[in-house]
Chain A
Amino acid sequence: MALQSLDILRRSATPTATPQARTPVEVAKLIDVSTCIGCKACQVACSEWNDLREEVGSCVGVYDNPTDLSAQAWTVMRFAETEANGKLEWLIRKDGCMHCADPGCLKACPSPGAIIQYKNGIVDFHQENCIGCGYCVSGCPFNVPRLSPADNKAYKCSLCSDRVAVGQEPACVKTCPTGAIQFGSKEDMKEVASTRITDLKNRGYQHAGLYDPEGVGGTHVMYVLHHADQPELYSNLPKDPAISTTVSLWKGLLKPLATLGIAAAGLFGFFHYITVGPNRPDDEDHEENRK
């Protein structure tokens, strides 16, 4: 892993600069929810390529299976039924890591090099450096990372960083039979999305739009939504995701305050001792002695 790439933008718990010489193009995966048929081929492709095997579950009354993300299921289809727009709609969303430009997981991670953000936009977990604290789980605005019960390390979608590194698209993109998942440069994907959105608008979906939330600096997994004004309809896709203020205070303001407080206590002691001197019981008229 360590030799994988020079093209690193950010590295968890690393205050100094990452390699800056090269600036590769930003990539993105575009998921067009309006052309997804919910076949789960992407789930299977992910499981095959990444060699993941979630336990075979049982039917819980809906199509969701597995019912949630896990260390063995990096992407799951979420099926939602809604009548919010005057008719019954079946909204299917492929859930997984959004590869944020400002990743909350990376901000929260205390272990140097456990989370790497490549310059191409991919946010990757390097499990050999993971300490199993679960801070990434708390840092993520999308509730994506999962700790494995087997090894206490965090896992999530890698956007097939190994495939992308050799010029291939992620496994889910490769397999999608309807072309609902596409992959390319972020710029190109935005263009593809805008064509599709114009189409949807012409078909009567006035609020069709691109989901590329600003609050996390944009994402490298984007959705075309027919109801971009109501992302919550799609199994609670957050409307304005951002790194929680609590996490920002903890990883931001608290650090300089703590440094100041701890340093002040230590320095106070040191300078007090070398100016006032020790307090001895026989030294009752301490002040006078000093003059």
Chain B
Amino acid sequence: MKEQLIQRYSAPERINHWVVAVCFVLLAISGLAFFYPAFFWLTGVFGTPQLARIIHPFVGVVMFLAFARQFFRYWHHNLITSEDVKWMKSVKEVMKGNEVGDIGKYNGGQKGMFWLMCACMAVLLISGFIIWRPYFAPSFPIPLIRLALLAHASSAVALIAGIIIHVYAALWVKGTIRAMVEGVVTHAWAKKHHPRWYRDMTGKKS
């Protein structure tokens, strides 16, 4: 019998996601290199340390713009409801592989991740402009640049830890990678992980 599939992400959505993902990897590599002396060698990925320093902020702007597109695509799917609170409270049960609540397109964890990413992206963009040499930093007072450096590094760490969880969740929940690569998920996947979304998409009762 042929596998029953539901479209979850269109081609433009997938391209959008992977543009953000590639930018993120480049930024994390160079950012960690600037943050940890022991990882400074990672700047070699960009050719030379100087090139890594020059390229980093431009990639950052591309990531922000691509993420902003995602924000306008998905924000209304990520408003937190009482079902999500229930999910978050029972996260231990969820971690065992047992879904909790009547989940729509995204569950409480995914929604939390979405808003964490939004907050980090905003802080990274603003602080990034303040510390961007040689173009913008000279226009700001040094104490503000210091705060921006601290905020930039802190939010980058939060984002990196968040993305590790995001990637792990996709690896753990089988059938999820396919949604962002081929754009489709199976009926069984949707029924188990996103029952309300499954009903919305198929008109069936789960």
Q: Which residues of A are at the interface with B, using a C-beta cutoff of 8 A?
A: 13-15, 110-112, 129, 131-135, 137-138, 143, 147, 149, 152, 244, 246-247, 249-250, 254-255, 257-258, 261-262, 264-266, 268-269, 272-273, 276-284, 286-287
Question: Given A249, A265, A278, which contacts B150 in the complex, CB threshold below 8 Å?
Answer: A249
Chain A nearest Cβ from B37, distance in angstroms: 4
B189 touches A281 (CB 8 A): yes
Chain B nearest Cβ from A14, distance in angstroms: 6
Q: Which residues of A contact B174 (CB under 8 A)?
A: 278-281
How many residues of B are counted as interface, with CB atoms below 8 angstroms from the partner's CB atoms?
50
B40 touches A110 (CB 8 A): yes
1/0 per residue, CB under 8 A from A, across B149-187: the answer is 110011001101110110110011111000000000010
Interface of B is mostly: helix
Chain A nearest Cβ from B19, distance in angstroms: 23
Q: Which residues of A contact B35 (CB under 8 A)?
A: 110, 255, 258
A131 touches B52 (CB 8 A): yes
**Residue B134 CB within 8 A of the other chain:** yes
Chain B nearest Cβ from A127, distance in angstroms: 11
A selection of 22 A-B contacts at a CB cut-off of 8 Å is: A15-B38, A111-B40, A112-B37, A132-B53, A133-B34, A137-B137, A246-B146, A247-B149, A250-B150, A250-B153, A254-B153, A257-B157, A262-B161, A265-B161, A265-B168, A266-B164, A269-B164, A273-B171, A277-B97, A280-B174, A281-B191, A286-B97
Q: Which residues of B contact A131 (CB under 8 A)?
A: 43, 49-50, 52-53
1/0 per residue, CB under 8 A from A, across B24-59: the answer is 000000000111111010010000011011100000
